[in-house]
Amino acid sequence: MMLTLARRWQTATTGKFIAKDTAATWAMPHLPEPMTEVLTYAREAYLGRANDDRGNRPFDARQMANHPHQQVIAALTA
């Protein structure tokens, strides 16, 4: 879910459709620091370099999901 939101945000902002891990890399500089850590973990799990334990950080994931969601809405209504 985190990578899908990053890709939606990137696509809404730039008009380009790219791979999820690339979108995550694009989104990281646009996020507050604590959220960058969550997205980095999701990207590493997607690439098979970390264990995908979604139950490990439910609060961080919810908070992280809200930021790109709001950015997508802002990009689409601008």
Residue 60 pLDDT exceeds 70: no
pLDDT interval class at 45 (50, 70, 90): very high
Amino acid, single-letter form, for residue 16: K
| Mean pLDDT across the chain | 86
Residue 66 pLDDT exceeds 90: no
User: DSSP characters for 2-29?
Assistant: HHHHHHHHHHHHHS----HHHHHHHHGG
Residue 26 pLDDT exceeds 90: yes
Region 26-33: mean pLDDT is: 90
Burial of 59 from C-beta contacts in 10 A (0-12 / 13-18 / 19+) = exposed
